[in-house]
Amino acid sequence: MHRPDPHSYYDASQPKARRLRLKLGVDFGAKRLDGEVILEFGREISGVLHLDSKGLEILSVQVPGHGPVPWALDAADAILGQRLCLDLPAGTIEVAITYRTGAEAMALQWLEPEQTEGKVAPYLFSQCQQIHARSMVPCQDTPVVRVAYQAEVTVPAGLTAVMSAGPAGDEATADGRHVYRFTMPQPIPSYLLALAVGRLASCDLSPRARVWAEPELVEAAAWEFAHVEDMIGKAEGLFGPYPWDRYDMLVLPPSFPYGGMENPRMTFLTPTLLAGDRSLVDVVAHELAHSWTGNLVTNASMEHFWLNEGFTVWAERRILRILHGDDAAALGWAMGQKALEDSLARFQNEPHLTVLRMHLAGIDPDDAFSSIPYEKGARLVAALEREVGEERFLRFIRDYMDAFRFTSITTEQFCSFVEAKLPGALEAVNARAYLDKPGLPDTSPEFHSVQLDTLSVLAERWSDGARPSAQQIASWKPAELQVYLQKVPRNLSQADCAWLDEHFQLMGRGNHEILVEWLTLAAAAEYEPAFPRIREVLLRVGRMKYLRPLYGALGQHTRTRALAREIFAAASPGYHGLSRRVVASVLEQYPA
């Protein structure tokens, strides 16, 4: 027996599924999927097969032509869930499992109509990364196994289903519901399975790009992301032809726990990106870049997550540099530096979670999640790029994509490839210090621009009375203001807060990066005029990136700690399970 992924029961001595055929009935009343999955192996197999499952009720296991198959579910492991053991007869080519999802399925969030923009229909969305596909469908839930899939999703009349796949028709059913069909011909890791069901409308942005959202938001979404085709073109210039046919996007309700999720053919996005000024499209550049780095060349397990995220952050800023220039990219790196420092501080007592090549046996990958694989990883990629030069590095990246397309690889495979193509480069940048040592190496690349340095100096001199001029206040772009606020000292006085709010009109900002940066400063200063806005944001938005610093800042003082607990009690039922866990872990660090 050989288990290559500590987060899966997949046994490498057993056959891999090649394709899934899914039938899902969406039951909003019971908050349940009634599922059938057929795992195709593409050849005759037999014997023991181990699958991942979590909270699933298994109803039957059949091999077509043979009949029922003996099966057993092992005792549940808190992180991995239950191993589903099948004993397949000789000549098995495919196996069919009927099942129901459980009430606590982490992959699925069921929203009441009140939690949506339109407030008239319920909504369902999935989030399978890191290891939650097993709570939606029994499968080999590891990126080592890649599957094509087709699906048939039956939903109540009036609702629309979308998936991380191409549409393949839809029709009304005899019992008054509606069935949507999908096909994903390219092999994907299970964490990229994705489904959303709700009252949805769409708008075409180009012949291959479309945005989906609730009807109330679709116009704003189409405006915000209007330039996506330009972005796809720039990304193709870097990495080669877009490999997934369509690039569609879905703007989700505000409880979506991430900024974006790179589900192929259907990127999922938080509505907090709808700033009204196209200032937060860096998240779209990030999710788009994943079409190559992550979705095409994939980490073999969450122990190699930096291969997905480090490359994608580097690629995102490369795209931004082409679109908006060196200054914009430097601001992006500065924002990343702040996120990296926050994560290093959070894990100061868990240094093993600050290395890139992680060892996660017995550790929940959601607990290991931080900006470190993103930003430390991107700095290693940038260091390699600086070492060998941009042109040579870009040729290397294209070779890397060609060599590993539609495969899932380890850090060790990556290093061997670099050694073969760019001999000596890993050693020259001291790659081992990134991969195996905690913290950030002193030699890691720095990113400067005149404007970034101006912002830094001005913010650092806040305590000496330095303030932005009226001309600066009027001319700063959103990213500049965000970086400035990030660099202002954390211990502001009430008068400082009042000055900032008055001069930058912070309370009414629609750009959530600026708004949340400001509210975090205000919470840390116990600045009472901001409390109603803090409450409003925390009750509405479930994006983990915002919940962690805001609840963290509220937790620092007795009075705001009580406020934090009161808000969490009210907001918690509306949060995604992942967000709820994050807030609980933030608040439990503080005395009751």
- Whose Cβ is closer to Zn ion: residue 116's or residue 164's? 164
- Whose Cβ is closer to Zn ion: residue 55's or residue 259's? 259
Tell me which residues in 289-328 interact with Zn ion (CB under 5 A).
309, 312
Cis status of the peptide bond prior to 337, with omega within 30 of 0: no
- Whose Cβ is closer to Zn ion: residue 126's or residue 312's? 312
What are 502's strand-pairing partners? none
**C-alpha distances in Å from residue 256, one per residue of 131, 260, 361, 364, 433:** 17, 9, 28, 20, 35
Which residue has tokens 């405006």? 223
- Whose Cβ is closer to Zn ion: residue 116's or residue 312's? 312
- How many CB atoms within 10 Å of residue 430? 16
522: Cβ contacts below 8 Å, ≥ 6 apart: 497, 501, 529, 530, 534
Tell me which residues in 467-526 interact with Zn ion (CB under 5 A).
none
Which residue has tokens 């029922």? 68
End-to-end CA distance of the chain: 47
Give the DSSP letter of residue 529: G
Q: Which positions from 24 to 63 touch Zn ion by CB under 5 A, shown as an x/- string?
A: ----------------------------------------
Q: How far is the CB of 288 from Zn ion (least distance, A)?
A: 11
Angle (nearest 5°) at CA 550 between 501 and 307 = 115
- Whose Cβ is closer to Zn ion: residue 115's or residue 312's? 312
Specify the amino acid at residue 126: S
Q: How far is the CB of 481 from Zn ion (least distance, A)?
A: 24
Q: How far is the CB of 566 from Zn ion (least distance, A)?
A: 33
What is the total count of residues that contact Zn ion (CB under 5 A)?
A: 2
Q: How far is the CB of 308 from Zn ion (least distance, A)?
A: 6
- Whose Cβ is closer to Zn ion: residue 135's or residue 298's? 298
Phi then psi dihedrals of residue 280, to 5 deg = -115, 25
Determine the Cα–Cα distance for residues 149 and 21; give it in Å rounded to an integer.
Answer: 6
Q: Which is the catalytic residue, given 287, 303, 517, 526?
A: 287
Structure tokens belonging to residue 327: 């200054």
Structure tokens belonging to residue 226: 């209007």
Determine the Cα–Cα distance for residues 46 and 259; give it in Å rounded to an integer.
Answer: 43
Q: How far is the CB of 312 from Zn ion (least distance, A)?
A: 5
Specify the amino acid at residue 43: R
Give the DSSP letter of residue 7: T
Specify the amino acid at residue 128: C
Q: How far is the CB of 173 from Zn ion (least distance, A)?
A: 37
Determine the Cα–Cα distance for residues 213 and 228; give it in Å rounded to an integer.
Answer: 16
Q: How far is the CB of 258 from Zn ion (least distance, A)?
A: 9
Which residue has tokens 């098995």? 92
Spatial contact of 39 and 20, defined as CB atoms under 8 Å apart: yes
Spatial contact of 296 and 243, defined as CB atoms under 8 Å apart: yes
Q: How far is the CB of 95 from Zn ion (least distance, A)?
A: 33
Q: How far is the CB of 344 from Zn ion (least distance, A)?
A: 19
Spatial contact of 122 and 112, defined as CB atoms under 8 Å apart: yes
Q: How far is the CB of 130 from Zn ion (least distance, A)?
A: 12
- Whose Cβ is closer to Zn ion: residue 214's or residue 287's? 287
Tell me which residues in 323-382 interact with Zn ion (CB under 5 A).
none
Determine the Cα–Cα distance for residues 309 and 433; give it in Å rounded to an integer.
Answer: 18
163: Cβ contacts below 8 Å, ≥ 6 apart: 151, 153, 180, 182, 184, 193, 194, 195, 196, 266
Instruction: Give the alpha-carbon dihedral of 342, 591, 559, 340, to 10 degrees.
Output: 0
According to DSSP, the β-strands at 297-299 and 71-73 are: unpaired
3-state class of 216 per DSSP?
A: helix
- Whose Cβ is closer to Zn ion: residue 312's or residue 451's? 312
What are 408's strand-pairing partners? 298
Spatial contact of 396 and 422, defined as CB atoms under 8 Å apart: yes
Active site residue 287: yes
- Whose Cβ is closer to Zn ion: residue 263's or residue 312's? 312
Q: How far is the CB of 289 from Zn ion (least distance, A)?
A: 8
Phi then psi dihedrals of residue 258, to 5 deg = -115, 170
Handedness of CA 367, 369, 371, 377 (dihedral sign): positive
- Whose Cβ is closer to Zn ion: residue 248's or residue 309's? 309
- Whose Cβ is closer to Zn ion: residue 102's or residue 294's? 294
Active site residue 513: no
Phi then psi dihedrals of residue 214, to 5 deg = -60, 150
Phi then psi dihedrals of residue 180, to 5 deg = -115, 135
Q: Which is the catalytic residue, given 10, 123, 258, 374?
A: 374
Query: Which positions lie near Zn ion, rule CB under 5 A?
Result: 309, 312
> What are the residue numbers of the active site?
287, 374
